[in-house]
Amino acid sequence: MEKKGLLGFTALMLVALAVLIGLGVWQLQRLEWKERLLARIEARTKSDPITLKQALDMARKGRDPSYYRVRVEGRFHHAVERYFYTVSHETVGWDVITPLETADGDMVMVDRGFVPDEQKDPATRPLGQIENVVAVTGIVRAPETKGLFTPDNEPAANRWFWRDLRAMARSAFPAGIMQVAPFFVEAEKSSVPGGWPEGGQTRLEIPNNHLQYAITWFLLAACLLVICGVYVRGVYRRNSPAVAGDRADR
């Protein structure tokens, strides 16, 4: 009976060991992927800016232009700016996302940067509402998807808690006459009259803990081997002839 139990225990341990090693290998694969991603982001954010036309052409061809620096010239549609809730430097406020239209008729949603809650109203920052043609350099960012614990957006109240590009565009242009680029442009920090909105809010701190995770899984696998070895050794010692004879003498 004990022999059957030992076989079952060993089979279970082998399955668990295979799972733990598999998880460790998967984390190493994720590490390789993450390092390539970080290198690509580093290269794109440090390169010379491309044009909006080039970024749009990439998107049309199925290539992801995310994290490229892009330079675009045009006029802001300040009357339909959208407000994305955020916290910057421990201050609660809003990112001001404003459609920008180029001379060629292209439209892109530009995250101009952060304003504190008390300056959400454009009337409190009139100098920053530039009416002339402006040149903006920023980082291309893809639209977001709603997180599990993210509040629902409130388009009617113009309060956004995740960046739903299509919904923002529809709320800004309800008649549907404008086609916007399939990405946002997050403006770099620059000199803005009045100081608001404050650009340069792009967050590039992408966690890379896959090596630690891989080591953890491999250590758990090693611990499992030790436990299995101790158990099996104990079983064989109990069933050894010397121990069996000692039991018989008793």
SS3 116: strand
Count other Cβ atoms within 10 Å, centred on residue 107: 19
pLDDT category of residue 1 using cuts at 50, 70 and 90: very low
Give the whole-angstrom CA distance, residue 53 versus residue 105: 11
Give the whole-angstrom CA distance, residue 165 versus residue 184: 8
Query: CB-based contacts of 184: which residues, under 8 Å, 6+ apart?
Result: 97, 108, 109, 110, 111, 140, 141, 142, 143, 163, 165
pLDDT category of residue 9 using cuts at 50, 70 and 90: confident
The class that CATH gives domain 47-195 is mainly beta
SS3 174: coil
Predicted model pTM: 0.83
Q: Is the pLDDT of residue 45 over 80?
A: yes
SS3 180: strand
pLDDT of 99-135, one tens digit each? 999 999 999 999 999 999 999 999 999 999 999 999 9
Dihedral sign, CA of 228, 230, 233, 239? Answer: negative
- Convert 142-163 to b/e letters by CB count within 10 Å (16 or more is b): eeeeeeeeeeebebeebbbbbb
Higher pLDDT residue, 232 or 160? 160
Query: CB-based contacts of 57: which residues, under 8 Å, 6+ apart?
Result: none
pLDDT at 84: 98
97 phi and psi, to 5 degrees? -110, 115
